[in-house]
Amino acid sequence: MRLTSIQEELEQSTVTREELLKLIYDTVHNIQSYRVPVTNGNITLSVSRKDILEKGKIEIGVHYYPIEPECNENMFKEPMKIFLTELFKRLEHTLKSTDPTILSGININYYGYTMFYKEGIINFLTREYMTNSDKVNIMSNVNFLDAYTNMDLALSDLVIPTDRLPKFGEGYSLAMDKAIKRVNTIYMAHQKGKFRGLPYELRKNPTISILQNYNSSWDEYSRVLLPIFDLAVSSAIEYEGDQTELRNTLIKKFEHFGILFN
């Protein structure tokens, strides 16, 4: 869409900033956000509305569920484009009646971007998996008017060449499967039992987390994520005795196998 065309359409502008922000506030949670298809998988979007009305700031978070352990150059651009395209579509008639100076006072940015591969968790915005400049670009504001005028240009800084993105080490998927199996095996062995003469039981479907080992799993020079993991599992406990004492005992038992229990 050409800026001159937008300006012509907005000559009869009637929408105020407050009215537009309230409409955005009410609209963002209606946009499809669960298991949205993208390259190599799907995403779930979450939207923070806390700064929309006062600051004109929309923040989105992404949970990315890839099919294969791979990064692609559009993985940060694609979710933002999907979200904005749908938002512009829902606001189409209102935006045509809004002065461009109002649109230029609205911004959108990422507040979080996490990859979930199988049971693995990789947070791209809290670790040094990318260069500082790439991380700054990913977290920077995208201007609402710029995106409405030329989406691809406005989101161009979110396209990160693959040679600057993390690569996954050889055998990563297999190592992940083995880690998950190890946690499940140890968990099943301790799921039921007795403690201080009373029976206890852990729930059947625990939350398993396979985390990148903070110190050893990232080679910043080759930009390779190595399959070196920290293992964790969490579960509620059914027990009529002192649950704190039982939980502390289980923590020590799981720790013996290199697994954090919480």
- The domain locations on the chain are 3-165, 172-261
Q: Which two structure tokens, joined as six digits, stand for 88?
A: 């512009």
**pTM of the full predicted structure?**
0.87
Write out pLDDT tens, residues 182-238.
999 999 999 999 999 999 999 999 999 999 998 899 988 899 999 999 999 999 999
Written as six digits, the tokens of 182 are 């190890």
Residues 225-239: tens digit of each pLDDT: 999 999 999 999 999
- The predicted model gives 18-44 an average pLDDT of 94
Please indicate whether residue 165 or residue 2 has the higher confidence score (pLDDT).
165
CA 152, 154, 158, 159 torsion: positive or negative?
Answer: positive
pLDDT of residue 47: 96
Question: Average pLDDT of 51-80?
Answer: 97
- DSSP state letter for 227: S
Residue 35 is given by DSSP the state S
What is the predicted pLDDT for the residue at 43?
Answer: 97
CA 116 to chain CA centroid, Å, is 8
- pLDDT for the residue 32: 79
Given this model, what pLDDT does residue 153 score?
Answer: 98
Residue 106, helix vs strand vs coil: coil
Task: Identify residue 43 by its one-letter amino acid code.
Answer: I
Mean pLDDT of the chain: 93
As beta bridge partners, residue 108 has 58, 142
Count helices and strands (H / E) in the chain.
Answer: 11, 15
Q: Which pair of structure tokens corresponds to residue 102?
A: 């109002």
Task: Indicate if the pLDDT at residue 3 is higher than 70.
Answer: no
Cα–Cα distance, 121 to 64 (Å, whole number): 10
> How many Cα neighbours within 13 Å face the side chain of 98?
24
pLDDT digits (tens, 9 = 90+) for 124-134: 888 888 889 99
Four-point Cα dihedral 251, 123, 84, 154, nearest 10 = 170
**Per-residue pLDDT at 13:** 65
pLDDT at 220: 83
Taking 70 as the threshold, does the pLDDT of residue 37 lie above it?
yes
Q: What are 249's two structure tokens?
A: 């005992």
pLDDT of residue 128: 84
User: Distance between CA atoms of 146 and 56, rounded to whole angstroms?
Assistant: 15
| Of 2 and 211, more confident | 211
